[in-house]
């Protein structure tokens, strides 16, 4: 158990500056090799105090009672075991919106905002923003991609599919809490299912599982132990979901529409080749903040 300040041995004033506790927490986290020790310490102390926001060092906080100490110790133990802050607090910010995460959902990644950025730009270049666009998100997880794009396009509506019913329930909750429930529907479908009954879509988004099975063990503990395997595992060569998904995606994409997909590092050529077999043509590629090609755009081959 981690107790950064022992009340029995210290003579705490009625209020104390948070810096002492924060420094102690930060040291413990940093010694465990956690790169985000400073911001994690601020978030964890905030949560232990029952606050939504992080605690800053100059703040005066009330002395911590036993219940607060226990909460802090329990959360520190989880963080030291590799659990990400987002899973401990139950939500993650994505595209400046708050998304609840659950054991069934991928923890939304900042890199995936590359897709939203590309899609928003494509829509505004094509002057389609005021049209009631139809959006589709294949493998929706928390719903972060669909809901982020819907938040930018007030006339649009969309459908998110996922094979995991718990993920769908989380996505529905996120839609409701973001006030987007009227424009977002979530249904249980597999990438292998015919999407024909859902109709034609102007914009399709997808971030499917694309990590080769053999590489999952080598991923950081916060990914391999806390993201669901179903969200990560792309089969032996990372291409299994692409092979199922791309023909379905092509069949659901409107002739004038555009699909934006997230790819794994170095998957550009293999995914493009698979897309071409499905009658899609590469129309754009976008890199993330690290300069890695992260998103490809495909349209129907003319
Ligand atoms: C990498 S996660 C992406 C989640 C979310 N779109 C995001 O970007 O954070 C992939 C998602 O695909 C879903 N999935 C995996 N296999 C599937 C399949 N065969 N059919 C439909 N969805 C699937 C997983 O449950 C997971 O939610």
The span from the CA of 294 to the CA of 50, in Å, is 37
**Residue from 93, 119, 141, 238 whose mutation best tests the ligand 1 pocket (most atoms within 8 A of CB):** 141
- Percentage of the chain beyond pLDDT 90 is 88
Please give the pLDDT value at position 163.
98
Do 32 and 76 form a contact (C-beta atoms < 8 A)?
no
Closest by alpha carbon to 256, among 293, 300, 225?
300
Asked if residue 141 has its Cβ within 6 Å of ligand 1, the reply is: yes
Do 204 and 156 form a contact (C-beta atoms < 8 A)?
no
Residue spans of the domains in the chain: they are: 16-81, 91-300
Please give the pLDDT value at position 16.
83
Is residue 286's pLDDT more than 50? yes
Query: Token pair of 290, please?
Result: 């690290």
Asked if residue 206 has its Cβ within 6 Å of ligand 1, the reply is: no
Asked if residue 169 has its Cβ within 6 Å of ligand 1, the reply is: no
The span from the CA of 291 to the CA of 294, in Å, is 8
Is residue 2's pLDDT more than 50? no
What tens digit of pLDDT does each residue of 70-110 get? 999 999 999 999 999 999 999 999 999 999 999 999 999 99
The span from the CA of 51 to the CA of 47, in Å, is 5
Residue range 131-135: mean pLDDT, rounded: 92
Asked if residue 205 has its Cβ within 6 Å of ligand 1, the reply is: no
What tens digit of pLDDT does each residue of 35-53 get? 999 999 999 999 999 998 8
Is residue 4's pLDDT more than 60? no
- The CA angle 139-101-85, to the nearest 5 degrees, is 130
Task: Choose the weakest-confidence range: 12-26, 138-152, 248-262.
Answer: 12-26
Q: Which residues contact 21 (CB under 8 A, 6 or more apart)?
A: 4, 5, 45, 61, 64
Q: At what angle do helices 113-125 and 144-152 cross, to 10 degrees?
A: 30
pTM passes above 0.85 = yes
Please give the pLDDT value at position 52.
87
Residue range 166-191: mean pLDDT, rounded: 98
Confidence of residue 66 (pLDDT cuts 50, 70, 90): very high
What tens digit of pLDDT does each residue of 214-263 get? 999 999 999 999 999 999 999 999 999 999 999 999 999 999 999 999 99
The span from the CA of 242 to the CA of 291, in Å, is 23
Confidence of residue 7 (pLDDT cuts 50, 70, 90): very low
Specify the CATH number for 91-300; select among 1.10.150.20, 3.40.50.150, 1.40.20.10, 3.40.50.300. 3.40.50.150
Confidence of residue 197 (pLDDT cuts 50, 70, 90): confident
Please give the pLDDT value at position 14.
67
- Indicate the average pLDDT of the chain: 93
Is residue 129's pLDDT more than 70? no
**How far is CA 3 from each of CA 10, 28, 127, rounded to the nearest angstrom?**
12, 10, 57
Q: Which residues contact 180 (CB under 8 A, 6 or more apart)?
A: 147, 150, 151
Please give the pLDDT value at position 171.
98
Is residue 13's pLDDT more than 80? no
Asked if residue 207 has its Cβ within 6 Å of ligand 1, the reply is: yes
Taking the CA atoms of the chain, what radius of gyration do you get in angstroms? 22
The label of the residue with tokens 């004038």 reads 256
Confidence of residue 9 (pLDDT cuts 50, 70, 90): very low
Query: Token pair of 62, please?
Result: 């009330």
Closest by alpha carbon to 262, among 219, 205, 216, 222?
205
- The CA angle 130-134-140, to the nearest 5 degrees, is 125
**Residue from 111, 142, 230 whose mutation best tests the ligand 1 pocket (most atoms within 8 A of CB):** 230
Please give the pLDDT value at position 248.
96
């Amino acid at each position: 158990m981690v107790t950064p300040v022992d009340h029995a041995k210290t003579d705490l004033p009625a209020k104390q500056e948070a810096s002492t506790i924060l420094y102690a927490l930060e040291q413990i986290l940093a010694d465990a090799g956690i790169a985000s020790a400073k911001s994690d310490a601020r978030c964890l102390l905030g949560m232990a105090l029952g606050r939504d926001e992080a605690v800053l060092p100059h703040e005066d906080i009330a002395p911590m009672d036993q219940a607060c100490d226990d909460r802090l110790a329990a959360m520190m133990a989880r963080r030291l075991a590799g659990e990400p802050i987002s899973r401990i607090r139950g939500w993650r910010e994505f595209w400046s919106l708050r998304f609840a995460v659950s054991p069934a959902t991928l923890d939304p990644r900042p890199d995936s905002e590359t897709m939203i950025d590309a899609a928003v730009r494509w829509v505004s270049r094509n002057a389609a923003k005021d049209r009631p666009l139809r959006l589709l998100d294949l493998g929706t997880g928390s719903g972060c991609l669909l809901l982020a794009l819907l938040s930018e396009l007030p006339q649009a509506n969309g459908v998110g599919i996922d094979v995991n019913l718990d993920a769908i329930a989380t996505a529905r909750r996120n839609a409701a809490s973001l006030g987007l429930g009227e424009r977002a529907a979530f249904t249980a479908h597999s990438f292998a299912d015919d999407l024909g009954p859902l109709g034609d879509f102007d914009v399709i988004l997808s971030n499917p599982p694309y990590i080769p099975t053999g590489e999952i063990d080598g991923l950081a503990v916060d990914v391999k132990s806390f993201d669901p395997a179903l969200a990560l595992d792309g089969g032996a060569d990372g291409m299994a979901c692409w092979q199922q998904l791309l023909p379905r995606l092509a069949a659901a994409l409107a002739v004038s529409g555009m699909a934006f997909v997230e790819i794994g590092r170095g998957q550009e050529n293999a995914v493009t080749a698979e897309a071409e077999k499905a009658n899609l043509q590469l129309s754009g590629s976008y890199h993330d903040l690290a300069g890695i090609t992260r998103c490809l755009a495909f349209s129907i081959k003319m």
